[in-house]
């Protein structure tokens, strides 16, 4: 335990402690406490009955039959359309592609229409999303945070006027006319408006959150998975055709997410004293930091090479191949299966399996002949301490 100012901080770095903490109802989400301009009242920030009621409604959209339609019918077509101009050009920046592609896919699931269908329209939506990310991660911002929050609030208003309000109007008209609206988050919220009784500003933030979470985290996983796979294939040329096996690609995605969770830490605040099964005690009011980098590299579970990328890694029963990157308990990521698919078993039938949107996108990119650009090496993003790629040139074909 450490003390920062008047706040007691308890850091958890073992898998067992982290899992216990995620499942404790006395530990409340606190990762986004300073990002309320975007994150206030969104699902991931709710607790207790408020969280249960909102999740129960939104779970109706996050069902297997919905995921199957996205994965089999919608996502492959959108991915192919997004890739097409870059395949024709023979090259692309993987970071740019990841954000563009996953924004296109996240807009589908969040429920944001783009009637123009132009690159300029996509660029405007992307600019808004990047503002939303700044708002959600305001705790890590430097400079005048109040001014930054005001900028994000203006971006939300502008995004609402151009994108959200027309999307709401279209879905309400469809519902009024008895026409089935798209199966997305926004339509789900509108269909159950009487049950949830959410004011417009909460609907705005909820949809914005799904847009930023779906686009940003999936884009990061996409780029990192491709990077890991290119490096692994260079070391294992005898397995060069493994990318044609979607089960192998999914294992690569899971291994990547284990090594690089979207946030390196989880955070909770203790509403009451908590005793974990290991004997660790957490006083009321303490901030709990879950060190996911350490938890997901626990050598007792993931082996002595836990810090290395190994798509053939086996893990003990009851341990997910992606560790706790999607959290656990009541706040387990609602979009986990949509993004990463269902964990495969030895008897999994590939014809009926749910692989997840990242697996599908990575598979389509490798089918397009992706390779590192020999003349332009990738570079890390110098603007953040987190291990993000700033630019990652690749060739296609």
d(CA 184, CA 44): 17
In-domain check, residue 61: yes
Q: Are 107 and 212 in contact (CB under 8 A)?
A: no
Is residue 203 in some structural domain? yes
Give the residue among 156, 67, 157 at the shortest CA–CA distance from 108: 67
Q: How many domains, the chain?
A: 1
Residue 362 lies in a domain: yes
> CB under 8 Å to 143, separation ≥6 — which residues?
none
Closest CA to 262 of 198, 191, 325: 325
What CATH number does the domain containing 111 carry? 1.10.630.10
Contacts of 323 (CB under 8 A, 6+ apart): 15, 257, 258, 261, 292, 295, 296, 302
Tell me, yes or no, whether 375 lies in a domain.
Answer: no
Tell me the residue range of the domain where 361 lies. Answer: 32-262+296-368
The per-residue pLDDT string of the chain (397 residues; one tens digit each, 9 = 90 and over) reads: 554 445 799 999 999 999 999 999 999 999 888 889 999 999 999 999 999 999 999 998 888 898 999 999 999 999 999 999 999 999 999 999 999 999 999 999 999 999 998 889 999 999 999 899 888 888 777 778 889 999 999 999 999 999 999 999 999 999 999 999 999 999 999 999 999 999 999 999 999 999 998 898 999 999 999 999 999 999 999 999 999 999 999 999 999 999 999 889 999 999 999 999 999 999 999 999 999 999 999 999 999 999 999 999 999 999 999 999 999 998 899 999 999 999 999 899 999 999 999 999 999 999 999 999 999 999 998 766 667 899 999 999 9
Q: Is residue 285 part of a domain?
A: no
Tell whether 267 is covered by a domain: no
Considering the domain boundaries, does residue 300 fall inside one? yes
- 290: in domain: no
């Amino acid at each position: 335990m450490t003390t920062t100012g008047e706040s007691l901080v308890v850091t958890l770095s073992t898998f067992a402690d982290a899992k216990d903490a995620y499942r404790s109802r006395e530990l409340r989400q606190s990762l986004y406490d300073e990002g309320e301009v975007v994150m206030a009242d969104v699902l991931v920030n709710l607790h207790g009955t408020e969280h249960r009621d909102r999740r129960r409604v939104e779970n109706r959209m996050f069902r297997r039959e919905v995921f199957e339609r996205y994965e089999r019918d919608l996502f492959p077509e959108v991915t192919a359309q997004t890739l097409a101009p870059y395949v024709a050009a023979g090259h692309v920046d993987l970071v740019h592609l990841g954000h563009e592609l996953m924004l296109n896919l996240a807009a589908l699931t969040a429920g944001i229409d783009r009637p123009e269908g132009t690159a300029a329209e996509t660029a405007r939506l992307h600019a808004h999303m990047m503002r939303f990310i700044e708002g959600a991660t305001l705790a890590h911002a430097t400079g005048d945070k109040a001014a930054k929050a005001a900028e994000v609030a203006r971006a939300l208003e502008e995004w609402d006027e151009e994108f959200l309000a027309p999307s709401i109007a279209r879905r309400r008209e469809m519902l009024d006319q008895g026409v089935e609206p798209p199966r997305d988050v926004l339509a789900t919220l509108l269909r159950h408006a009487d049950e949830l009784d959410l004011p417009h500003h909460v609907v705005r933030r909820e949809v914005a959150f799904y847009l930023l979470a779906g686009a940003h985290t999936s884009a990061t996983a996409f780029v990192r998975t491709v990077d890991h796979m290119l490096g692994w294939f260079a070391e294992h040329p005898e397995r060069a055709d493994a990318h044609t096996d979607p089960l192998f690609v999914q294992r690569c995605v899971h291994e990547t997410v284990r090594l690089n969770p979207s946030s390196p830490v989880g955070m909770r605040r203790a509403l009451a004293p908590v005793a974990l099964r290991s004997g660790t005690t957490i006083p009321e009011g303490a901030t709990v930091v879950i060190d996911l980098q350490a938890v997901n590299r626990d050598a007792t579970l993931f082996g002595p090479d836990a810090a290395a990328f190994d798509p053939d890694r086996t893990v003990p029963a009851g341990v997910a191949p992606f560790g706790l990157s999607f959290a656990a308990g009541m706040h387990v990521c609602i979009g986990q299966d949509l993004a990463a698919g269902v964990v495969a078993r030895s008897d999994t039938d590939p014809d009926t399996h749910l692989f997840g949107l990242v697996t599908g996108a990575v598979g389509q990119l490798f089918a397009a002949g992706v390779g590192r650009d020999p003349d332009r090496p990738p570079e890390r993003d110098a603007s953040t301490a987190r291990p993000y790629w700033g630019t990652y040139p690749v060739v296609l074909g």
